[in-house]
A = this chain, B = another copy of it.
Amino acid sequence: MTESPGAREAGVRRNREALLAAAAAVFVEQGVQAPIRDIAGRAGVGLGTVYRHFPNRAELVIAVYRHQIEECVALASALQRESIAPGEALTRWIGAFVEFLVTKHGLGVALQSEDPSLITLHALMLEKLVPACASLIAAGVSAGEIDPSVTAYTLMRAVGNLCILGPGYERAHAQDMVARLLVGCRSAR
């Protein structure tokens, strides 16, 4: 009778989070096209529950990644407010982006997919991430540290691609390759 009032809501939130965690894990293992049923199974819920929380695959994919995308955006602002060299700011930011991508592998593929169910994710990157990156690049260009012909979208795509991992090409390799790519983006002077 005297029930904690939010017991239900708590359960719902727990389910939602179990789903997000399960989805993230399954995406890592099978990619973002994994069967919805697998995600339901991993989360320990019924198939319908997935659809209740996320009416289609795209919603789920976005929910899985939106938070981290927004953290990346916030980091870009923070770095620009610090008193560090713009080139260094870009390097650190890309480092964080890489960290994000290699943690959720599968996202590298998803971010650049032409799959109609994932356009929204792609759009999210375009809207949020690309401007953040562009602003860091602009600062670096002004400081004479970054080659002015580097564009944010291309760089993000390239970094995204470099973060598609596989056996024998792990996180550290991706980090190394991205670092070298950034060397190649420095101002030719």
Residues on A facing B (Cβ under 8 Å) = 108-109, 112-114, 149, 153-155, 157-158, 161-162, 164, 166-169, 173-174, 176-177, 179-185
Question: Is B180 a contact of A168 with CB atoms below 8 Å?
Answer: no
Q: Which residues of B contact A158 (CB under 8 A)?
A: 162, 169, 173-174, 177
CB distance from A166 to the nearest CB of B (A): 5
- The secondary-structure label for the interface of chain A is helix
Complex CA distance for A133 and B41, rounded to whole angstroms: 44
Number of copies: 4
Complex CA distance for A109 and B114, rounded to whole angstroms: 13
Complex CA distance for A158 and B169, rounded to whole angstroms: 9
Q: Which residues of B contact A109 (CB under 8 A)?
A: 109
Q: Select the residue from A113, A155, A168, A184 with max chain B CB neighbours within 10 A.
A: A184
Question: Is A180 a contact of B181 with CB atoms below 8 Å?
Answer: yes
Q: Which residues of B contact A112 (CB under 8 A)?
A: 164, 166, 169
Complex CA distance for A168 and B112, rounded to whole angstroms: 10
Q: Which residue of B lies closest to A161 (CB)?
A: B161
Complex CA distance for A112 and B183, rounded to whole angstroms: 25
Q: Which residues of B contact A155 (CB under 8 A)?
A: 177
Complex CA distance for A49 and B149, rounded to whole angstroms: 50
New A-B pairs, 9, CB < 8 Å, besides A153-B169, A180-B185: A114-B166, A154-B169, A158-B162, A158-B173, A158-B174, A158-B177, A161-B164, A180-B184, A181-B184
CB distance from A157 to the nearest CB of B (A): 4
Contact of A182 among B153, B164, B184 (CB under 8 A): B184
Question: Is A154 a contact of B177 with CB atoms below 8 Å?
Answer: yes
